[in-house]
Amino acid sequence: MDGKRVLVTGGAGFIGSNLANHLAESNDVIALDDGYLGKPENLDDAVEFVEASVLDDDLPVDVDLVFHLAALSSYAMHEENPHRGAEVNVDGFVNVVEQAQKAGCDTLVYASTSSIYGNRTEPSPEDMDVEARTGYEASKLARERYAEYYSNFYDMSAAGMRFFSVYQGYGGSEEHKGEYANVIAQFADDMANGESPVLYDDGTQTRDFTHVDDIVQGLVVAAEERLDGIFNLGTGESYSFNTVVEMLNDELGTNIDPEYVENPIPDDVYVHDTMADISKIRDATGWEPGITFEEGIERVCQQYQ
């Protein structure tokens, strides 16, 4: 993608800043963020930073395409204030897209979530039945329906990307997320500092861990191909938390046992296992992840070596 004017909402956050920095190499990029978690320090100088909320009027939407990543992006964030969660995740989405389409933008790529698949040890295809067990999941499903409306009514291309467990490590721009960072980043930092990583229950839960660089490439190809509909971004492989600790020990040269604690998240909403079926986006665009989990673990640990 070259020579485009691009808006990235949530652009100073973890995934947003990685995307904005990548795009700014050959495009005019605006990163919009309200600073709830995002930090402008995550952004390269080539990115124009605008501190604003997705709920504001007069957003910088005179662009060729919008990547809408801004959200209260976890169960915990949303449940702390469900009304605020719906306001940001749903009203904010509608506000940004409404302003963008009125300004002539016809290409939208936005963040949904894989949480709606629930517990799955088999690959989850986009067309399987899903349900909302939390307010966070409900807000992301609402986005998908509103995107469907904008696609049908305004002839916009609207690609909803269901991210699986995205990681980079604290050597990148994930550190600002703190307790909301991916468990790989948190475990690695604890272990590199001689502390035991804290695992819920027995550590057998699994995730389809996907490196942020692959997520960025998936977002870009979705925009370039003007995809419309829902697409998974994952790897099709899953690893348990216990396995993550073992691999981190091997890479860091440590021998640290995890600490197991009771899961504070209710069983009926906690997602124990995830795995993506990526055949839809692979068939549509040729995209597939390029970073193996072993290489991803190496990258996470590089800053400690």
Ordered DSSP codes for 248-301: HHHHHT---PPEEE---S-TTT---B--B--HHHHHHH-----S-HHHHHHHHH
**79 shares its domain with 104:** yes
Nearest to 158 by CA among 92, 234, 235, 105: 105
Distance of CA 73 to the CA centre of its chain: 8
Q: Is the pLDDT assigned to residue 173 strictly greater than 90? A: no
Q: At 79, which CATH number? A: 3.40.50.720
**14 shares its domain with 144:** yes
CA distance 33 to 50: 7
**51 shares its domain with 93:** yes
Q: Is the pLDDT assigned to residue 136 strictly greater than 80? A: yes
Tell me: the pLDDT tens digits for 69-125? 999 887 778 788 889 999 999 999 999 999 999 999 999 999 999 999 999 999 999
Tell me: the pLDDT tens digits for 144-160? 999 999 999 999 999 99
Active-site entry in 136, 167, 170, 239:
136
**183 shares its domain with 84:** no
pLDDT value of position 26: 98
**Ordered DSSP codes for 126-159:** TTS-----SHHHHHHHHHHHHHHHHHHHH--EEE
Model confidence band, residue 267 (pLDDT cutoffs 50, 70, 90): confident
**55 shares its domain with 91:** yes
Bridge partners of 108, per DSSP, are 66, 158
pLDDT value of position 286: 98
**17 shares its domain with 101:** yes
Share of the chain above pLDDT 70, in %: 100
Question: How many folded domains does the chain comprise?
Answer: 2
**51 shares its domain with 144:** yes
Structure tokens at 261: 């604690």
Q: Is the pLDDT assigned to residue 47 strictly greater than 80? A: yes
pLDDT value of position 283: 98
**Residue-averaged pLDDT of the chain:** 96
Q: Which residues of 274-288 are buried (b: 16+ CB within 10 A; e: fewer)?
A: bbbbbebbeebbebe
**40 shares its domain with 75:** yes
- Over residues 135-141, mean pLDDT: 94
Statement: the pTM of the whole predicted model exceeds 0.95: yes
CB 108 within 8 A of CB 159: yes
pLDDT value of position 236: 97
Length of the chain counted residue by residue: 305
Whether residue 136 lies in the annotated active site: yes
Q: At 195, which CATH number? A: 3.90.25.10
**Residue-number span of the structural domain to which 63 is assigned:** 5-166+209-235+279-285
pLDDT value of position 178: 83
